[in-house]
Amino acid sequence: MNSILIAYATMTGNTSTVAEAMVEHLGSKHTNLQTKLIDMAELPPKDILSYDLVVLGSSTWDDGDVNQVAREFLLKLHQDCSDLSGHKFAIFALGDNFYPEFCKAADVLEKNIAELGGQVIGEALKLDGFPDDDTLQSANNWLDTIISEAGK
């Protein structure tokens, strides 16, 4: 595995904070990997096809609503990339565990990737609340596990 794309959909900046921490972690620990960070609002869906691993992250609003940026990206993805077979993905989401549909954005992203034939690596990371140092460390640990699994 040589390249990783981390694409995020954020409304308040929390998801981008986690994504940025992941890229920083990759730069310090996995220096052999080429890494790109991009907002899903600026990502042409076909660009994902040129990466060995695509990490998608989104915030979840209220009780299970996927944010607007992620919804629009998924619509474009279905229009532009009807077959993701042979491509690996990992999913993370932020939300508030107060809601019964905690981090439902992760489930929605996984479902859409699977519908298009993409391979989801590992279990989705579901983060509660605002990203603090512990949350960011959990995200980086999760990413290390995903990279290990994707390389098999």
Q: Say what the pLDDT of residue 30 is.
A: 85
Q: Say what the pLDDT of residue 83 is.
A: 95
3-state DSSP call for residue 48?
helix
Q: Say what the pLDDT of residue 86 is.
A: 94
Q: Which residues contact 53 (CB under 8 A, 6 or more apart)?
A: 1, 3, 4, 5, 88, 89, 90, 121, 146, 147, 150
User: Which CATH fold would you assign to the domain 7-150?
Assistant: Rossmann fold (3.40.50)
Beta-strand relationship, 53-61 and 65-66: antiparallel
In the chain, pLDDT over 70 holds for what percent of residues? 99
The number of helix segments (H) and strand segments (E) in the chain equals: 4, 7
Q: What residue segments make up the domains of the chain, in order of their start?
A: 7-150
> Residues 52-86: pLDDT tens digits?
999 999 998 776 788 899 999 999 999 999 999 99
Looking up tokens 């929605």 gives: 108
